[in-house]
Amino acid sequence: MTSILATSVALRDTLYVVSQNSGFPWNIVPPIVSAGISFLMLIVALRTFREHNRPYITFNIESELDGGLIFFFIRNTGIRGAHDVEISISPMPKSYALAKSTKHKDRDKFIYAFLAPSQTIRTVFDKGLHRYYDGHIPDTDVFDISITYKYKNRNFKDNYKCDISYLRHIIYPSTPTTPIKARGIQT
């Protein structure tokens, strides 16, 4: 602390001597520099506030160990609601356990008018034992995810890859003949 004060005093004295010996008023330089730095700090603070004060939509594919079900999870982890949410998945994920169900349709796009802050939407996608039974390897376990949404006339777009190949290494507690109806899901 004393070195900062000593440096400040030395700088002040140097500027005083220079301003006395030249025609330029050097004593106005520190307030101008200080005002410039304060302005830049204000801009950074406003950008940080704006970035924090928005929705964040994420999409993931996760498994529950107790039943071995694999779910699509769509979450808004931001503190504001998101409008016109559209999530595209490429290539289209294929369900092996629910393939024969008339109610289940393989989907490559999810569209929602609104997702509230901290809202999570969970949809059954597959069953781990059917997807990876007897060393079966699905067509693909890597998906390209594209998410677009809006908030207050601002458009957001996120693109990333979702790799679920780690799910084949999970040891599921039941057999592939266990009906999915046990969890209340009709096939």
Q: What domain range includes position 48?
A: 2-52
Mark whether 68 and 45 lie in a shared domain. Answer: no
Please check whether residue 92 is in contact with residue 107, taking contact to mean a CB–CB distance below 8 angstroms: yes
For residue range 84-114, list pLDDT tens digits in order: 999 999 888 877 777 666 555 667 788 999 9
Residue 25's φ and ψ, nearest 5 degrees, are -80, 85
Number of structural domains the chain divides into: 2
Go through 83-113 and write b for each residue having 16 or more CB atoms within 10 A of its CB, e for each that does not: eebebbbeeebebbbbeeeeebeeeeebebe
Alpha helix (H) residue ranges in 22-164: 29-52, 128-131
pLDDT at 133: 73
Do residues 112 and 150 touch, judged by C-beta distance below 8 A? no
164 and 96 within one domain: yes
pLDDT bracket for residue 57 (50, 70, 90): very high
Residue 113 CA, distance from chain mean position: 19
Q: Is the pLDDT of residue 1 over 60?
A: no
Residue-wise pLDDT tens digits, 130-184: 777 766 777 788 999 999 999 998 999 999 999 988 887 776 655 544 444 444 4
Quote the pTM value: 0.66
Same domain, 22 and 94: no
